[in-house]
Structure 1
């Protein structure tokens, strides 16, 4: 799943590459992805990109008052091919193309590699008309995200930290992988409830969140969008590293109980 560091890098690429460029054509390959059925992608044709904005794990393309919202879900992503450039065969099978937006100088592709469709496209008049965007909590990667904002997000709730960090209505932008990395950096049990945290633990969590995301956003900047997933995987310290030595102690990385191998932790470092 692309999370805030990768989506921020994609937004930066699209902002630099597409601002001022005109849509010359569209193709919707998978009709289920377009959630605004009364507003086809063809509404974008002949309009120029005026702004590209990230909202959590969503990207909004502003075309002079008409907006295309890209929600990548669990396995969505984007491709870019310069006008006139030949298609290059990948070593691995390419992800299915969901939609294509042709510009005067290239083609933006939206793909989804999941077993079920998770990409969502909306053609709207304003970004906050997209339900998932309208209900987003404060952005985790915003430099202004403070310890006090984290305290409000935690809210003394009896909800597991792992699940709470991924709750987009509470904190926007964090998914499965970075929640593992943040909790490892904070040395906190992912199954502990937010209500159980001491003041010191809240401070550790906030610092780990800031350090982890700030570093990842910085490291992903400038990485070609086709290489973002590999860069993310390579940077993980515990996520996806089941059975490997813990980078922080003499323990071994294990799957978090109940996650069906989808999330990892170090019980020695993070155990209650």
Structure 2
């Protein structure tokens, strides 16, 4: 799943290629991806991109007001999406969440044939830009769980997932003190707290593993029971891990981001491999639809965490 660093890199990538360009066509191929019907997706056609921003794991492509004929006399005002992505009074926003298996594929030249659902590319939606430069991008989604989602709205806050987001982990306003206040009353395991988008926007399964490894904390520790030093270490590990990942991804093309993410991970997805810090074997705890990875020596005092899947096998 693309997380904060990859979505931030996609935001930068699209900013360079979209801002100032006019959207010629938006074609939904897999209709389950479209989560809104008013305004219609066709209302985005003929508008110029004014900015691209990120809300947690959501991408937000802001479009201008278009012509009076395109927006209609009864169009409502939108509030915009923050710095660099203000759509203006009658503008629109195409908000995208790539979910677990979605991705964005940039095309310098789009195929002339009409897009068809299914097939190897698992094409979900296509956005074509004005000529003579042409080009555009496809949204694709692999696998059987179809969760990729697109909203066409006048204000990104109309998207429920955006409206409930907590602070961005890289926002300078999220000081160590503000971070400590978020954890103080939360009695859940710290792994789940880091992944909760209503607490912190943009951290998923992979980077929560990386942050906890850097902070030398067990993923099963209760957030409310972390002491002052542990909270400070967790905040520093979160900021450093995410900033490093953003820097590694900076300037990369969309097609290179997945490989960069994988090579930069130290414990996530590396079950059975040696920890790059201490050399102990990276272990895994599996759940119904996901898993976490950790280093026992670095994070749990050398004790393996209980894995229900393994416990069943050992009975």
TM-score tier by shorter-chain length is over 0.9
Residue in 2 that maps onto 1:176 = 205
1:35-46 alignment, distance < 5 Å:
35-46=35-46
Matched, 1:225 2:254: yes
1:158-237 alignment, distance < 5 Å:
158-237=187-266
Residue in 1 that maps onto 2:98 = 72
2-side partners of 1:227 and 1:187: how far apart? 30
Q: Write the deviation string for residues 171-228 of structure 1: whole angstroms up to 9, x where unpaired.
A: 0000000000000000000011101101010011001001100100111011110110
Distance 1:268 1:29, change over 3 A: same
2-side partners of 1:136 and 1:11: how far apart? 18
Residue in 2 that maps onto 1:22 = 22
Matched, 1:126 2:126: no
- Contact between 1:74 and 1:114, CA under 8 Å: does it hold in 2? no
What is the SS of the residue equivalent to 1:152? helix
Unmatched tracts of structure 1, length 5 or more: 87-92
TM-score, normalised to structure 1, is: 0.93
2-side partners of 1:261 and 1:36: how far apart? 29
2-side partners of 1:260 and 1:266: how far apart? 21
Unmatched tracts of structure 2, length 5 or more: 65-90, 113-118, 302-315
2-side partners of 1:126 and 1:257: how far apart? 38
1-side partners of 2:217 and 2:295: how far apart? 10
- Of 187-196 and 29-38, deviating more is 29-38
2-side partners of 1:145 and 1:216: how far apart? 19
- Contact between 1:81 and 1:108, CA under 8 Å: does it hold in 2? yes
Q: Which has the larger radius of gyration?
A: 2
- Contact between 1:5 and 1:216, CA under 8 Å: does it hold in 2? yes
What is the SS of the residue equivalent to 2:107? strand
Question: RMSD of aligned C-alpha atoms?
Answer: 1.9
Residue in 1 that maps onto 2:77 = none
Residue in 1 that maps onto 2:174 = 145
2-side partners of 1:82 and 1:137: how far apart? 36
Matched, 1:96 2:122: yes
Residue in 2 that maps onto 1:117 = 146
Between the two proteins, the alignment pairs up a number of residues equal to 267
Q: Write the deviation string for residues 125-183 of structure 1: whole angstroms up to 9, x where unpaired.
A: 01111110011000012244311221122133110111110000000000000000000
